[in-house]
Structure 1
Amino acid sequence: MRLLGVIGGMGWSATAEYYRRLNEGVEARLGGLHSAPLLIRNVDFEPVTAAEQAGDWDGMAEILIDAARSVERGGAEGLIIAANTMHKVADQVADAVDIPLLHIGQAAATAVKASRQRTVGFLATLTTTNGDFYTGPLEQAGLTVIRPEPDERPEVDRLIYGELVHGIIKEDTRKYFRGVMKGLVSRGAESIVLAGTELGLLLDPEDADVPMHDTTEIHVAEALDWMLNERP
């Protein structure tokens, strides 16, 4: 197996989910007492979010580049960023190291395209929703992306950062997201892309009237394929 570097801590609840799923995936594929060879660099999320709020993308990139270089020095043969929004600076991170970075948006685009659903609803933070670094790969794959209504996006962002990042799960929040997803479906979404790594902690398949694509699950599957030498 290849040694995977994981940049985590954004937030820690999503990183814990990555850790669990990567280990369960290796065990399921190889059996016995096998577990995932990982090198995790857990960054302090506060300065990362401060950079996001200030629009200081170079500052954010510096933090993640430092983390990426540290796992590369530690022997990691490949890298993932265990967060969706921080892929805003994924290209800068990838350019700063000599190991491959497995991009969550590109993995999601491949998985959704394979499902043959052509119009997708999109749930994510404000930065991810309003940017094109994530929706771009989806659209380049021939998909139409439907975002939440403009007045819904700040509340989606607040609930992700104010609750889910901290591992807080509330029934009222689940109901709110159900309503947002219902609106996306009414506007033509054939499936929902959960483009926030914590959203899968809150939402289950039965919470929507159409299939869901949990990008954490997709990213983990991509990483497992790479770790087990099933892809370049």
Structure 2
Amino acid sequence: MKTIGILGGLGPESTSDYYREIISAFNAQYTERAYPEIIIYSANINEFMHMVKISAWDKLIEWLGGKIQCLHNAGAEFAVIASNTPHIVFDEIQALSPIPLLSIVEQTSKKAQQMRLGKLGLLGTKLTMESDFYRKPFMQKGMSVVVPAENEQTLIHHRLFSEIELGIFKDSTRSELLDIAKRMVDQDKIDALILGCTELPLILTKNEFGIPFLNTTAIHCESIIEYCIAD
């Protein structure tokens, strides 16, 4: 098995979810506790958010690339970024990386294609919803991605960083998110919803309204395991 590198901390709640998902999957497949070796670099989310806020993309690429280099130096044979938003510069980081990287966006688009989905809603941070780095791989596979209305995006972003990223899961917030999802089902006619922030599956834990909620953390972890055990 290959040694896994995880660039986490963006945020901490979902990083621990990655570890649990990977270990749980190996428990299900192997009977002799054949766990993979996992190296985690927990980065400073405040530094990350500051660079995003001021659009310091070159500095962000260098910063994230340095963390990947640290994982490589520690023995990781491939790596993942345990967060959706940093994938806005994934291609640039991959070009600098000394080891292979698995993209959460690419893996999610492949999963959606396998499920024969056509029109998907996307929830995430405001940057994730506003940018096109999610739309592009889906469009290339013949699918479309729609996002919530501007005021809904603002609410989602606020709830993510004032509550969910801090491990605070309120029933009222869950209801707000589900109301947005229901409106997108009714008005935008989406046939699936991408939980495009790795904290969202911690509060939206099951499918609703007769459509699949794509847990990007679980999809990413599935690809991590496949790559880890592949020859």
TM-score normalized with structure 2 length = 0.96
Runs of at least 4 residues of structure 1 off by over 4 A? Answer: none
Shift of 1:207: 4.0
Corresponding residue of 2:138: 138
- Cα separation, partners in 2 of 1:208 and 1:10, compared to 1, 3 Å: farther
Shift of 1:79: 0.7
Corresponding residue of 2:162: 162
Structure 1 distance, partners of 2:123, 2:177, is: 9
| More divergent stretch after superposition (11-20 vs 54-63) | 54-63
Corresponding residue of 1:29: 29
Corresponding residue of 2:222: 221
| More divergent stretch after superposition (165-174 vs 136-145) | 136-145
The alignment of Structure 1 onto Structure 2 pairs a total of residues equal to 230
Q: Per-residue CA shift, 1:51-107, capped at 9, x if unaligned? A: 111111122222211100001111211010000001111112111122111001000
Q: Per-residue CA shift, 1:180-202, capped at 9, x if unaligned? A: 10011011101111111000000
Corresponding residue of 2:83: 83
Q: Per-residue CA shift, 1:110-137, capped at 9, x if unaligned? A: 0011111111111111111111112211
- Cα separation, partners in 2 of 1:100 and 1:24, compared to 1, 3 Å: same
Structure 2 distance, partners of 1:180, 1:40, is: 34
Q: Per-residue CA shift, 1:194-215, capped at 9, x if unaligned? A: 1110000000224444111110
Identity over aligned pairs, percent: 27
Structure 1 distance, partners of 2:33, 2:170, is: 35
Shift of 1:151: 1.6
2:135–2:144 Cα contact (<8 Å) kept: no
CA-based RMSD: 1.2
1:178–1:208 Cα contact (<8 Å) kept: no
Corresponding residue of 2:212: 211
Shift of 1:171: 0.4
Corresponding residue of 1:49: 49
**Is residue 193 of structure 1 aligned with residue 209 of structure 2?**
no
1:108–1:218 Cα contact (<8 Å) kept: yes
Structure 2 distance, partners of 1:140, 1:151, is: 29
- Cα separation, partners in 2 of 1:206 and 1:75, compared to 1, 3 Å: closer
SS of equivalent residue, structure 1 residue 58? helix
1:7–1:81 Cα contact (<8 Å) kept: yes
SS of equivalent residue, structure 2 residue 194? strand
One-letter code aligned to 2:220: H
1:24–1:35 Cα contact (<8 Å) kept: no
Structure 2 distance, partners of 1:145, 1:109, is: 10
- Cα separation, partners in 2 of 1:118 and 1:206, compared to 1, 3 Å: closer
1:6–1:38 Cα contact (<8 Å) kept: yes
Q: Any gaps of 5 or more consecutive residues in structure 1?
A: none
SS of equivalent residue, structure 2 residue 21? helix
1:105–1:135 Cα contact (<8 Å) kept: no
Corresponding residue of 1:14: 14
| More divergent stretch after superposition (203-212 vs 150-159) | 203-212
User: Which aligned pairs between 1:53-64 and structure 2 lie closer than 5 A?
Assistant: 53-64=53-64
1:182–1:209 Cα contact (<8 Å) kept: no
